[in-house]
Amino acid sequence: MKIFALGCTHGKLPKSFSKDASKADVIVCTGDMAAAGPYMAPGKYKTVKSLYEWWDSLSKSELNKLQKKIDRSYYDVVEKLSSSKKPLVVIRGNMYRAKSGDKFTRKLFNKYNVKYAPVGKRKIYSYDFISLDFHYETHNVRSEGKASKREIKRLINFFRLKLFKKNFPKLLKKSKNAIIVSHVPPYRCLDALGGPHMPKKLIGKHVGSKLLRNAIEKYKPILVICSHIHEARGVARIGKTTVVNVGSFGQYALINVEGGTVRVNLR
């Protein structure tokens, strides 16, 4: 089975998408499809903080204009992904999660018949594709570590950690040939913060999911496909499980799964 996998597209699909997707059996997208606001800043910015400062400095009308562009990019990516007519496994990531964004996403997914469950299972060929959408745990709420206890609790509840904790291991336990599609990488695996914009004290900090890590160690799925930490792109192993962080902004992976053997080609 050939998988075309990408994620954190942020409005950008690879030029070869149609060609490569037509050769794949399954398309996987690990979320964050829409353009990322602060990263649309013109010119050169040295730090993440300055990107956000630029974003915060915008007037209401400038923000509205950009928001329309972002909405459009979300729309375009989902339209293109679903145009391949191949089985499509998609999750949402951390973007568009407030009430209006949630509504926007549901409408968009309905329009293109995109099947979605925050934590769910779909059998495709002889494999169980298990989705695990974005969630926060105490150690990774706001990587800056600045959130108050109350805010941490709110974000953990808002992103429904309880639901994931309850259902994710259950689904895995009952699965054969499991392939996990997660927004966040597993803890201490392709999950270290870095890159030129990152404050020094955060470089190397692990912000992956412990829920996912523990489940991998216990249930030994064949493959985990993730993104979210753009700068930690790569292929790694946890025991016999292959983990692929597909990267961002149109980067992708061609993955071949035959029985228990996984081969990964990062593009």
Interface contacts to Mn ion, rule CB under 5 A: 32, 93-94, 228
Q: How far is the CB of 249 from Mn ion (least distance, A)?
A: 12
Based on CB atoms, which residue is closest to Mn ion, 25 or 71?
A: 71
Minimum CB–partner distance for residue 168 and Mn ion (Å): 18
Q: Least distance from C-beta 71 to Mn ion, angstroms? A: 18
* C-beta of 178 vs 232, nearer to Mn ion: 232
Q: Is 32 or 133 the residue whose CB approaches Mn ion more closely?
A: 32
Of 62 and 102, CB closest to Mn ion: 102
The nearest distance, CB 209 to Mn ion, in angstroms, is 12
- The closest residue (CB) to Mn ion is 228
Residue 91 CB, shortest distance to Mn ion, in Å, is: 10
Which residue lies nearer to Mn ion by CB, 206 or 228? 228
Tokens of 4: 């075309």
